Amino acid sequence: MQKRKLGKSNLEVSAIGLGCMGMSFSYGPPKDKQEMISLIRAAVERGVTFFDTAEVYGPYTNEKLVGEALAPFRSQVVIATKFGWRIDPKAERGLAGLVSRPAHIKEVVEGSLKRLRTDVIDLYYQHRVDPEVPIEDVAGAVKDLIEAGKVKYFGLSEAAAKTIRRAHAVQQVTAVQSEYSLWWRRPEEEVLPTLEELGIGFVPYSPLGKGFLTGKMTEDTRFDSSDFRSQIPRFTPEALKANQTVVDLLNQVANRKRATPAQIALAWLLAQKPWIVPIPGTTKLARLEENIGAAAVDLTASDLREIESAASKLSIHGARYPEVMERITYR
Please answer whether residues 140 and 166 qualify as being in contact, where contact means their C-beta atoms are separated by less than 8 angstroms: no
Pairing of strands 18-19, 12-14: unpaired
Confidence (pLDDT) at 91: 75
206-257 pLDDT, tens digit per residue, is: 999 999 999 999 999 999 989 999 999 999 999 999 999 999 999 999 999 9
- What is the model's pLDDT at position 266? 98
How many other C-beta atoms are found inside a 10 Å radius of the C-beta of residue 149? 9
Query: In whole angstroms, what is the distance from residue 139 CA to residue 123 CA?
Result: 13
**Is-contact 116 63, C-beta < 8 A?**
yes
Enumerate domains of the chain plus CATH numbers. 3-211+272-297 (3.20.20.100)
Whether the per-residue pLDDT at 5 is higher than 90: the answer is yes
Q: What is the pTM of this model?
A: 0.97
pLDDT at position 144 is: 98
Query: Is the pLDDT confidence value at 280 over 90?
Result: yes
Q: Report the catalytic residues.
A: 57
User: 95 pLDDT band (50/70/90 cuts)?
Assistant: confident
Percent of the chain with pLDDT over 70: 100
Q: How far apart are CA 157 and CA 194, in angstroms?
A: 14
200 neighbors 176 (Cβ within 8 angstroms): yes
Residue pLDDT, tens place only, 11-51:
999 999 999 999 999 998 999 999 999 999 999 999 999 99
pLDDT band at 85 (very low <50, low <70, confident <90, very high): very high
